[in-house]
Structures are given as C-alpha cells and as structure tokens.
Structure 1
C-alpha cells in the first residue's frame, strides 16, 4: 500500500516523467516532424561540410579574428575579459560564448592555431543558424521545399561561406537573432515564447550591438503575431526582459567604476561614443573611392547573385503578407547602409539569412499562389512564371561562379603567409625580444612560451597606457615587427608602428601583394646607421666569398660559387667553411635558402657539404659566435644551419 501511495498518479496515455519519458517525447516529436527532418538533415550536413573543408586555410587570418580569439583566450585561460585593457568597444558576451566553446572542447590545445579554434565555434554557429533559418521559414508559412531552398542558398553562397567561417561576433549573434524571430512566431502563441524572444534578442545584441537594427522587424512581428488580448502584455514582458538583460552590461561598467568617462580610465559611455560617432566615416556607397564602396565590392567579388537577388526579393517581399516583417527588416538594414557613417565589413552577415529566406520565400509564394488559382492567365500565374524564370536565371548564373569560389575556399591555402611568418618567428626570434604583431598571431606566440608583455598587439602600441608605459622609448623598445596588410594600413595613424617599420630591415618575407607577411628586425640606432653597416658587411662578404670560391681546397659548382662571390652567404658560414678547408678538402654542395629569407635578401645561413661524420663532427664542436644552431646528416651529406639572429 505504501508503494502505491508513493507512486505518482498518471493520466492514462500520458508520457511518464524521467529519462524514459523524455526519450518518448523526443521520439514523438521526431515522428511528427519526420518529413522536415528528412529535408533539413542533409542540408545541415552540406552547410557544415562546405564550411569545414578548407576552414583553417581560407580565408587568410585577419587581425579582427585574432582580437576576438585573443579575448576568448583571456576569458578561458587568463581569467579576464580581454588580453589588454577592456575598453567597452563591444559587449563581451560574444567572445565569452567563443570561450565557452573552446573550454568545453579544449579547442586551443587541439586546433592548429588559435584562430582555427575560433573558426570551429563559427562552424557550430553557422549550422545552428541554418537549422533556425529553416524553422523560421516554416513558421512564416513557406513550404518545405522553399524553406530548404533558403537553407541551401545560404549554405552554398561563397559570400556566406567565407564570412561565416571568419571569427566575427556577428556570427555568434546570428543564431540568437534567428531564435528570437522563431520564438516570436511560436504556433502556440505562448507568453513564455514571446518572453524568450526578448531574451534571445538581448543575447544577440550583447553579442554584437549592430543587431539592434533588427529590433523594428522583431517588434513588428510580435505585434502582428500575438493575440490581440495579450499583445500589449506580451510586448511589455519581452521588452522588460530585453532591457533588463541589456542593463546588465551597464551594471558591469557601474560596478567596475567605468560607466562614465574620467581621467586615465576607460568607460562604457566613452566606448559608445566611439562606436556611434567616433569612428571615421566609410563614405558613400556611390563614391567609387570610398571605404563603403570597397567593402561592397569585396562582398560582390565573392558573390553577386545573392546580394542582388536579396535586394529584389526584399522589395517584392513587402507585398507578401507573411514575408512582410522580414522584408521590412531587410529593407531597413539596406537603407542603413546608405547613411553617412561607418560601414563594418561583417555587416553583411546579418543580411545573409534574411536575404536567403526572402529569395526562396518570394518564389515559393508566387508558385503557390499560381497553383491555388489554377488559371494560367491569372496575375498570380504570371508572377509565378516570372519568379521561376528569374530564379532559374539566378541558378544558371550562380552555379559556375559559386563552384569556382567554393573550390578556391576548399583547396587554396590563403593562410600560408601568416602560418609561415608565425613559424619563422617562433623558430628564430629569441624569446626575450619584444615583438609588435598582428593580433591573429598573438595567442599562438604567447602559447609558444613567450612572455605576454613581449608580444604586443600593434593597435595597443599607441592606444593603451599600460603598453605605452612598458615601452618608454617608443619604437626603440621593440626588437621585431611582423607586418601584415592590416598593420601596414594602420601605420599612418600609429607613430610607433610607422617608426618601427621605417627603422627595420627585412629578415623574411612570405606571400605576395596585400597578403604578404614580413618579419622585420627593428634597429634602435636608426636605419641610416644600419644601412651603412650593412653596406660594409656586404662588401666584406663578397670579398671573403671570392677568396673561398678561389680556394683550391673547396670544390663548389658555379651557382654556389656565384653565391659566395656575390656576398650572398652568411659571414659565420663562410668563416666555418674556411676553417674546415684549412684542415681538409671540402666539397660544398650548396648554400640552401631558408624559406622566406631569399625574398627578403637575407644572406644564406645554411651550408650543404659532403663528408659525413668527420664534417659533422667538425661543425658540432664549434663554439662561440661560429657555433651553428643545428648540424644534421643524411647519408654522406651534412646540413649546417646558423641562427637567424647573430649572437651578441
């Protein structure tokens, strides 16, 4: 009797509580939605695979990615909101979520580099966004094939693939924004769903503040979808949760004493002032020389079809009732691009899911309207015919262009210059020397065992008082600078960067054009003194090399002799070669170049000789300035390598 009394009563046919009940509910949900699952599952797989293949190597790592990953690393490993002074440039929730992923998956220890760890998180966000896009389309009344087409369009657009791979906070915010729209369209019209929409949208905005621009579309959707009797209450609850979540950001600043500007401190108000009015305007989209136009051209170089089709679909969608809230939001985002002010490069990320949804949704609406009328000459049928023809033309145009772009994103190693420059610096720059670097390398160089204070993100050299205090002599307190396109563009506004580059010599160079990465050694004595010294050293190497080339004890081919006489061989290598030739005949097989150093004009610091163990033993016993860093053998061949930086 006691057992019977302790057992909870159960309504006949009800699902039991506990794990078994949860599994039965899940199975029931899967049965009800099996058709959608059959449509969506392969689409999610395609979305994930297209973004995964080549994810590490394309596109090339950029400074923004490195910044967000370094901030996530600081949260995960250093116990702080940022790797430098956090100055409220963006809310921290975006990179906190990235840090949560890296902590759960140990990504920093698994991935080939830190940015690759962040790109893994972007892959998860992209797949989540694809799934939510399908659900949103279905809740808007789009057919399964139309909803699937929206997912496929976003999944295969090269513009979406490249930008959704890149570590941007916008990618973190996108699934939360889509979730807010999905919850606002809850078929049961529950207050909890509307409240959830407000909370999800707050997380989206706290992940990337520009998503606040989607608020009018979300409010419109809530007003239209909610029941008239509870509409005001639902909107109040959702709005209250949104405001309270946002207020948490202000409370963080208040608790830290950084809400208002003050002497020698960062502040939330100061950060907002910078974001809203302190950034240099990108100019007009209609000015071919403006930054806004260059940003737009960057998008269109990756994919012309989806952006153009999205604009047309947004205008058309205003006349389709079920798509109107999304079309209103899309048109508002497009109009904001025309305003004077700063246009962020990743701004397009927010446009991608809504553009894909509208393109597929408009064609779907036209076809379904035509099928309902059953009359060929009806306006709906004509509209459907035009929509289908335009859609077919779009597919025919997109297919070859997308195939080529996707092939490049999958196979091209666009990140090679960054990886090679980073590897050269890790192997050759002494750990005690201070470097100015692109933030894309910051975490990797710190994780290689270097002091954080010796790896300086170039942006902070003239903007962070803590960094400025550590380098009282400015550029002279830095030993190396590793330049990327981002750093070279920033040099005009940063005296430290400009002077460090101007007073440096090239040690190694990787890649070509804008993608090249240069490792440069900074000389505190100034470039004029260095040039004079280097000129005399080159002349001395040439004279010494001519003597070695003419030494009867040294056998070398013409190409190697030319390197010697041309002063293209390191003086330490020549001194070691001369010492060996004084003891025995020498067969010099070559002076191999180290990757990246020939392009920089650096003297070759490797010797390849024949002679086996006796030659290997000779160089292994050298000491002092003439001691090589490595002596390796392969059969009878001996490779002697000297350090990139001569010992002092």
Structure 2
C-alpha cells in the first residue's frame, strides 16, 4: 500500500511511502496474514503429527539423510563415492537445516530429523504458493484454499513427509514464479527468478523442465523496451549457477570419464539414457504403472480434478503458462522409453492445487455474473455462466467424494505406525548383533547403525555392494564377506538387479522378523558356505536340541506343565538354555514357565527362560550356578526377583555351527 505525502510546495507526491518498517509491513499485509496463518498452521500440524510413524522409512530417503549426515558429521559430500547421480545442493540444504536446528540430536532415528526439515520446506512452499496465487489475481480465500489442498491432500502429504530432494527444490521453483511476476524492479525480479530456478535445478535436476514456462511468463511480463536486456541478464545468471556445478566436476578432475574415476558426463548419460526405462504407465507390472498406481491409491480425486483444472486453465489467460506447464508435465509421464521416478509427482502438486483453487474461483465468479460484463457478447457471457456452473458442480461432486476419502487417509497418517517394524529391527540389531559384524542394509538404517557403534565400513548399503569400487575392494568375496543382511521392501524389490544381493538373501536364514507384508523387516544371518550346507547344519542342530529336550523333560527335578515339556521334546528351546538347566537341576528343584518368544523371534528357538526356585536364597544360588558356566553356555542377562529368575541367552548359539531354523 502506498500513500501520498506533501512536499514543501504543497503538491502531493503519489506513490511515495509515508512510513516504513515491520509495523507498516504488517498493517499492509494484515488481511493476507489472517487468511494465510491459520491454514499454514493446519498444514504444518498435519505434516508434523506422527511424521516418523507414517509412511515407513524407505531406502531413498535414507540415502538423502545419510548424505546430509555425512556433511555435518564426516565432512564429506556423501557417505559413499559421489558419482553425480544428482546435484548435491538438495541434501546440502537438508544438512544446513539439521545443523542449524540440531535435529539429528533430537530423534532416535536419523530419517526423522530429515523429515523435520521436510516440514520446513513444505511450509515455505505453502507461503510461496499463497503469494503466487495473489500475484496471479486470485483472492485471499482462494489462495488459502490452494494452501489447504497443497497441505492436506493425502497424495501431497505422503510425499511431503518423505525425505525427497524434490521437496527441497519446490520452494525455489515457486519463488522463481513469484519473482518473475514481480510488480516492481523487473530486472531484480527476473534475476532473482533465474537464481531461484538455478537453485531448484541444482536441488533436483528434473525441475529444469519448468524453464520454458518460466521464460513464457517472463516474456509476457517484460517491458518491451528493456525485454532483451533483462532476459539476457537473467539467462546469464542461470548459466553461471549451472556452470558452477560443471566447474565443481572439472576442479575434481571428474568432468569426463577416466579410468578408476566417476564423472559428471557418466552421471548425466545414466540419468538421460542408460538408466532402465520405467515402461508404460498402462503396462501392468512396469515401474511407471506401479508409481502411478501408488499416486492413484492415495488420492484419485485430486489427480482427476487437478488434471482437469490444468486443461481448463489453458483457456484462462492469467494462469495459461502454469496450466500449460502442468499439462506438459503430465504428458511427459507417458513418454514410452523414459524413466518415471516415484517422487516426480511432487513437482506437480503445488501447481495442481493452485489451478484447482483458481479455476474454482473463476467458476463461482462466472455463475455469479461478476465476470460476465467482460464478455464481448451476451452469448459469451451466458456461455461463461454455463461453463462456470458446470465446473462448480464438478468441484462440488469432487468434494463429496474427497471428504470421506481424505478423512480416512489422513486418519491413517496421524495414528498409524508403519515404521514400527523398522524401528524394532534396528533396536534388535543394536541389542543382539556384535558391533564387529558386517551387514548389508537398507540405507534408511545406515546412519543409525553407524551412530550406534558399528564400523562405517561394516554397514554396507546394499546398492553399493557391486556398484561402488571402494566397497568392492572391501568385499573381495562379495556377499560372502558379510555376516547379516537386513531385508526391507526396498531391498526385496530394488535389490533384484544385484546378483550379490540376491545371493546374500538366498543363502541366509531369518533370525528375527518384524511386521508383515510390505512393512516386514527381516534380520537374516548369511551362510557363506551356502544354503544347502547351512540347512544340513540346521537340521543337525535341531536334532541335538530334540535329544537334549527329551532328556531334560524326563528329569524328576524339573517342574513343568505338559505344554512346556512338549516344547523341550520338540527341540524348540535353545541348547545352551537346556544345558544350563541341566546343571541347575543337578542341585535343586525348579519350576519352568511355558516358553514364549522374544519380540521378532516367533518361530525361532526360545532363548528366554523364566524359572522359579524354592526360596530367594535358592534363587541366589541358582544365579551363581549360571554365572559359573563356561563362556559358550553363559547367559547374556539374568534378572532376579525374589525366588524368580528371568534368564536370556544371546541369539547366536556358538555351541553349534548352525543358526536356528526360521
């Protein structure tokens, strides 16, 4: 808002500001803040609530988290060899956020800290979306609706919560559109827009697809008398920013391919040509079809309404470049031999939300006749009202369908803990696996396990086992050099392309399992001697347990019910536990409770024994007997409570060459 002030001649000077500062800014923007702040608070609250529980962590976000953690904790660009698959600015910004806020220190699992940064980037995007709508001529209520759709659509929420560098790039792209529509200081606005687009592209390279449409808006907005100059300066700024990435590779001697080195050219070639195509969206089982199916399952209403709004937006001059961009991005998905990444939809969501709200507003205005006077003829005015009414009915129908669908989906986001199996598996590994062990893992676990004391080189992201020369040198025998493989949905699907990973899984046995279906996480011990030999050893170990159990069940000093005795005879009890019980029963009578598995160890042999002695004194003596056993038979922990002892042995039985059968 500007005000007229009077100079010494008494003549008012139009456009001069009567005051400045924060107070003036808040007075000018008070009405906008009244509409923005409540919807922004709702969007932030919904994204933050239970962000660690749903969705379950996946390998990709573990990678970006580990790369950000490497910058702040290791002083390295990535936790493995950087091979130019993506520009690094995305995870550099995540690292900056976590460093400034201390996020990694606040969470038990590193990915949660990075997810907190996603809340920040989504909030910034929401504010910029509101401003962009206003600059395109939308009202404040319409801008607020766009923010709500952007923040609450289950499709948006799923991917905004997930640690993707696309979420980091989105606010930069929105800022570019906001700046190119700047009402004042056009040169500064265009230069700022170019800089923001450059930042977006260096955060996620696919955002370069927006360049033609940003240029379209710039050409349309530019003053004809200075258009060539302003566009040239903006183009030079964009080129300089992009050239910085190329210069980085050149300085490191990694611009062109050479023996034993990664190169920028190879990374670009991989992304643009040699990467496995996703197939057709219409072909069942293809990667593209799977990605589209995920999007559709989350929010079919928003997908249909957003796509339709993009088409309608082509006929509305104010938003035509943005509508054309969205139509182009949608069409780009259907190219036959390209690669369609799952987070591709993140770039589309804010512009779809904007168009849904904008077209809806124009429909209401047309029905009300507020815009009819602009029509060149009465027929056009009537046509606008009819079309506006039709779109209003379509939107109303969409709301009827969307409200219960969104309610059900959002409830799941807010209360469901899909990540529990992953957390349980990590905790089990921390409690039961020797820190000197070497493991093949989903990258979502990498930071947590290294932070828990496992050697960095012994926690191997499965993708790197046969793709990174440094890892290959550490594993001359491939999968056989690892002790465990921890399988997740990401590894079970994405690991199929690696022979080493497949062999590691095939030649391993489950020692702990958590969750079911796609959320299932298995901790598997690898058998370098091969699965057939391992199965023979497993059978032999089971027979030993059956023999020991049968003898123990016949011991007159043992007090146990029929079910417990059958567990002994079936060989379901850890051999070390039975040998230890044999030593205890030689001196005293004890009662043993029915065996129950530890969490994650259902179907494996029981290694926790709860026994009762005749008195607290007898319990003390029993504990001494157990402590005096040889190292291989000694319990991992003993808890005594009066005359009751709870005894737990480690999961790996060193008295046999096999692990427990799964």
Q: Distance in 1 between matches of 2:192 and 2:386?
A: 41
Correspondences of 1:317-328 after superposition (within 5 Å): 317-328=313-324
Query: Which residue in 1 is equivalent to 2:355?
Result: 358
CA displacement 1:198-246 (0-9 Å, x = unmatched)? 0011000000000001111111111111222222222111111111001
Query: Which residue in 1 is equivalent to 2:196?
Result: 200
Give the Å deviation of 1:24: 5.7
- Alpha-carbon contact 1:508-1:596 (below 8 Å) kept: yes
**1:528 to 2:525 alignment:** no
Query: Which residue in 1 is equivalent to 2:4?
Result: none
- Alpha-carbon contact 2:580-2:626 (below 8 Å) kept: yes
Give the Å deviation of 1:432: 0.7
| Structure 1 gap segments, 5+ residues each | 1-10, 13-20
RMSD (CA atoms):
1.7
CA displacement 1:434-490 (0-9 Å, x = unmatched)? 100000000000000111010000001001111111111111111111011221223
Query: Which residue in 1 is equivalent to 2:604?
Result: 602
Q: Distance in 2 between matches of 1:476 and 1:425?
A: 20
**1:581 to 2:585 alignment:** yes
Q: Distance in 2 between matches of 1:366 and 1:563?
A: 72
Query: Which residue in 2 is equivalent to 1:373?
Result: 372
- Alpha-carbon contact 1:282-1:343 (below 8 Å) kept: yes
- Alpha-carbon contact 2:56-2:419 (below 8 Å) kept: yes
CA displacement 1:386-438 (0-9 Å, x = unmatched)? 12211111111100000001100111110111111111111111011110000
- Alpha-carbon contact 2:612-2:645 (below 8 Å) kept: yes
- Alpha-carbon contact 1:75-1:99 (below 8 Å) kept: yes
- Alpha-carbon contact 1:442-1:455 (below 8 Å) kept: yes
Query: Which of residues 447, 451, 456 is equivalent to 1:452?
Result: 456
Give the Å deviation of 1:137: 0.4
Q: Distance in 2 between matches of 1:312 and 1:501?
A: 46
Instruction: Tell me the SS of whatever aligns to 2:609.
Output: strand
Query: Which residue in 2 is equivalent to 1:15?
Result: none
Give the Å deviation of 1:633: 2.6
Give the Å deviation of 1:259: 0.0
CA displacement 1:498-517 (0-9 Å, x = unmatched)? 12111111101111122211
Query: Which residue in 2 is equivalent to 1:563?
Result: 567
Correspondences of 1:251-266 after superposition (within 5 Å): 251-266=247-262
- Alpha-carbon contact 2:635-2:647 (below 8 Å) kept: yes
- Alpha-carbon contact 1:592-1:608 (below 8 Å) kept: no
Query: Which of residues 130, 135, 139 is equivalent to 2:135?
Result: 139
Q: Distance in 1 between matches of 2:534 and 2:502?
A: 17
Query: Which residue in 1 is equivalent to 2:276?
Result: 280
Aligned length: 627
Q: Distance in 1 between matches of 2:297 and 2:582?
A: 56
Give the Å deviation of 1:621: 3.7
Give the Å deviation of 1:37: 0.2
- Alpha-carbon contact 1:320-1:365 (below 8 Å) kept: no
Query: Which residue in 2 is equivalent to 1:509?
Result: 513
Q: Distance in 2 between matches of 1:568 and 1:355?
A: 58
Q: Distance in 2 between matches of 1:603 and 1:132?
A: 57
Instruction: Tell me the SS of whatever aligns to 2:371.
Output: helix
Correspondences of 1:589-628 after superposition (within 5 Å): 589-598=593-602, 601-611=603-613, 612=616, 613-614=619-620, 615-628=622-635
CA displacement 1:364-403 (0-9 Å, x = unmatched)? 1222243233799722222221122111111111000000
- Alpha-carbon contact 2:54-2:417 (below 8 Å) kept: yes
Q: Distance in 1 between matches of 2:286 and 2:494?
A: 17
- Alpha-carbon contact 2:462-2:495 (below 8 Å) kept: no
**1:483 to 2:487 alignment:** yes
**When the two structures are superposed, what TM-score results if normalisation uses the length of structure 1?**
0.94
Give the Å deviation of 1:124: 0.4
